[in-house]
């Protein structure tokens, strides 16, 4: 068990950038954490941290091994909890990557419900709006709608993600309503930064790709929604973010004859974590809470 507690000390120190903060996290003394990290460094024969009076930072070796160490600790903890299980409570530590806007709007409640149902479960939720390889970056589940795939990773489809163009009635009255995607180059456009200013549509004769010059770009969908409601431009945005505004007429759909290709929200899971009980339970909850679509 020494190697496991030493790895836990290493990860806590890497996460908090200090022995004192790691000690508080692990509920042990600072000297114990420092000793465990030193023992681990002696075992592998290389320093894991650059130490100075002002800061503690990972060495190149530390950066290289931190995510793999996290996977080892997670697997070991999962195994030990299964061996000592009494009842059906889930005992695990899940590190989850999730999109910012989707988490704020929909997933936060799902995560909260999941932890309420499983009070012995630890969750670490990191909000990122870019493709993530969960193996190399140390995640148990990476949620997103990017089409990227990675080796050693299983992609689990969750729900379709509907997107559309919309604008306020005031904007359309002042600037006119586009009739074709190519008209957008003359309009004030509001763009979701992770998917970029190249907008793709399904037309009667096939795909149409338009390069817009956004008035506003943001990686947070609520920012785009509020700007569109304020009359600042035409937004390409996920339907779930503007459903209420569309329903009450605050926003109007634009170019309905040229729909935006649908994306799928998926969970990317390292193969070694695919069958973990906590991972499977969370996937079930996500599919239920996000269904039928976003």
pLDDT at 143: 96
pLDDT at 94: 92
Q: How many domains does the chain have?
A: 3
Are both 271 and 142 inside the same structural domain? Answer: yes
Are both 146 and 178 inside the same structural domain? Answer: no
By residue range, what is the domain housing residue 171? 163-261
Are both 140 and 281 inside the same structural domain? Answer: yes
- Whether 291 and 240 have beta carbons less than 8 Å apart is answered as no
Are both 167 and 154 inside the same structural domain? Answer: no
Mean pLDDT, each 10-residue run in order, the chain (294 residues): 81 86 85 89 89 84 84 71 57 91 92 91 92 90 90 92 96 96 96 94 94 95 97 96 96 96 93 89 88 73
Are both 63 and 25 inside the same structural domain? Answer: yes
Bridge partners (DSSP) of residue 166 are 235, 253
| The domain boundary residue, chosen from 61, 84, 107 | 84
pLDDT at 77: 67
Are both 242 and 174 inside the same structural domain? Answer: yes
Could you tell me the CA-to-CA distances from 8 to 59, 134, 194 in Å, in that order? 17, 19, 34
pLDDT at 87: 47
Spatial separation of the C-alpha atoms in residues 235 and 189, rounded to whole Å: 6
Residues in contact with 252: Cβ distance below 8 Å, sequence separation at least 6, in sequence order: 166, 167, 168, 169, 172, 246
Element (H, E) at 30: helix 30-44
| The domain boundary residue, chosen from 37, 55, 84 | 84
Are both 228 and 275 inside the same structural domain? Answer: no
Are both 39 and 76 inside the same structural domain? Answer: yes
Instruction: State pLDDT tens for residues 276-291.
Output: 889 999 999 888 888 7
Instruction: Map residue 210 onto helix, strand or coil.
Output: strand
Are both 31 and 115 inside the same structural domain? Answer: no
């Amino acid at each position: 068990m020494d190697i496991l507690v030493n790895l836990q000390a290493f990860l806590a120190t890497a996460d908090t950038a200090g022995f004192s903060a790691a000690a508080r996290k692990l509920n042990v003394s600072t000297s114990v954490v420092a000793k465990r990290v030193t023992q681990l460094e002696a075992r592998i024969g290389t320093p894991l941290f650059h130490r100075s009076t002002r800061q503690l930072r990972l060495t190149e070796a530390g950066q290289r091994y931190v995510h793999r160490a996290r996977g080892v600790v997670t697997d070991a903890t999962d195994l030990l909890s299964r061996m000592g299980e009494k009842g059906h409570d889930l005992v695990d530590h899940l590190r989850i990557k999730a999109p910012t806007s989707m988490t704020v709007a929909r997933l936060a409640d799902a995560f909260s419900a999941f932890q309420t149902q499983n009070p012995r479960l630890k969750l670490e939720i990191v909000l990122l709006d870019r493709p993530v390889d969960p193996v190399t970056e140390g995640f148990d589940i990476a949620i997103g709608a990017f089409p990227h795939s990675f080796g050693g990773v299983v992609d689990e489809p969750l729900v379709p993600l509907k997107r559309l163009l919309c604008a306020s009635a005031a904007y359309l009255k002042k600037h006119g309503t586009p009739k074709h995607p190519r008209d957008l180059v003359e309009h004030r456009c509001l763009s979701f930064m992770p998917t970029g200013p190249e907008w793709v549509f399904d037309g009667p004769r096939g795909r149409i790709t338009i390069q817009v010059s956004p008035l506003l770009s943001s990686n947070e969908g609520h920012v785009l929604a509020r700007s569109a409601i304020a009359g600042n431009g035409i937004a390409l945005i996920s339907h779930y973010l503007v459903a209420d505004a569309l329903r009450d007429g605050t926003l109007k759909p634009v170019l309905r004859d040229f729909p935006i290709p649908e994306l799928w929200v998926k969970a990317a899971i390292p193969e070694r974590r695919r069958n973990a009980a906590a991972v499977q339970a969370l996937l079930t909850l996500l599919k239920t809470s996000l269904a039928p679509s976003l």
